[in-house]
């Protein structure tokens, strides 16, 4: 977190700080996931409060948006700067793609392919994550027994 962000967050109310810290811990989360995490310590916090806080943090640029969850809910990202994601189409989990040369090169290639389009925004690569892939494979193995 930058000093500016730390400063802005530290001036917030306790519930804002709690919500922010929960998102930082999880990395990418919907309001419902943040609520589940926060309710361990604050059972009384309402969905409306979480919703209001995440919307405000987003408006101030302290958090970003990640690809929406499988059920279409807004998902927030503790990292507000633009970056690319991988999303599992089975469990809906997202993770950041490495911000390395290979990702950069892939985006550049796309940009050249579609020279007439103004490309903006970030990439979301979809597929099946390792956990789901593994489950899938062991299901097949069980069926073959």
Among 5, 70, 106, 132, binds Zn ion (CB under 5 A): 132
Asked whether position 90 contacts Zn ion by CB under 5 A, the answer is yes
User: Which of 84, 45, 49, 47 minimizes the C-alpha distance to 64?
Assistant: 84
State how far the Cα of 7 lies from the Cα of 5, in Å rounded to an integer.
5
Asked whether position 88 contacts Zn ion by CB under 5 A, the answer is yes
Asked whether position 62 contacts Zn ion by CB under 5 A, the answer is no
Q: Which residue lies nearer to Zn ion by CB, 50 or 88?
A: 88
Q: Which residue lies nearer to Zn ion by CB, 109 or 134?
A: 134
Asked whether position 91 contacts Zn ion by CB under 5 A, the answer is yes
The stretches of 27-117 forming alpha helices (DSSP H) are: 31-38, 47-59, 101-113
Asked whether position 96 contacts Zn ion by CB under 5 A, the answer is yes
Asked whether position 77 contacts Zn ion by CB under 5 A, the answer is yes
H/E segment holding residue 6: helix 3-10
Minimum CB distance to Zn ion, residue 69 (Å): 12
| SS3 category, 124 | strand
For Zn ion, how many residues bind (rule: CB under 5 A)? 8
Residues 15-34: x/- map of binding to Zn ion (CB under 5 A)? --------------------
Q: Which residue lies nearer to Zn ion by CB, 24 or 32?
A: 24
State how far the Cα of 132 lies from the Cα of 128, in Å rounded to an integer.
6
State how far the Cα of 18 lies from the Cα of 11, in Å rounded to an integer.
12
User: Which of 84, 79, 87, 75 minimizes the C-alpha distance to 119?
Assistant: 84
Residues near Zn ion (CB under 5 A) are 66, 77, 88, 90-91, 96, 129, 132
């Amino acid at each position: 977190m930058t000093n500016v962000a730390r400063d802005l967050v530290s001036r917030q109310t306790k519930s804002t700080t709690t919500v922010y810290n929960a998102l930082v811990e999880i990395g990418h989360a919907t309001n419902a996931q943040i609520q589940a995490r926060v309710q361990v310590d604050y059972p009384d916090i309402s969905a409306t409060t979480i919703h209001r806080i995440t919307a405000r943090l987003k408006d101030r640029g302290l958090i970003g948006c990640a690809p929406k969850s499988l059920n279409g809910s807004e998902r927030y990202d503790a990292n507000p700067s633009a970056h690319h994601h991988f999303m599992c189409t089975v469990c809906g989990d997202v993770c950041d793609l490495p911000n390395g040369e290979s990702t950069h090169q892939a985006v550049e290639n796309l940009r050249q392919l579609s020279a007439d389009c103004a490309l903006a925004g970030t990439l979301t690569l979809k597929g099946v994550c390792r956990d789901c892939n593994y489950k899938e494979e062991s299901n097949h193995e069980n069926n073959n027994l």
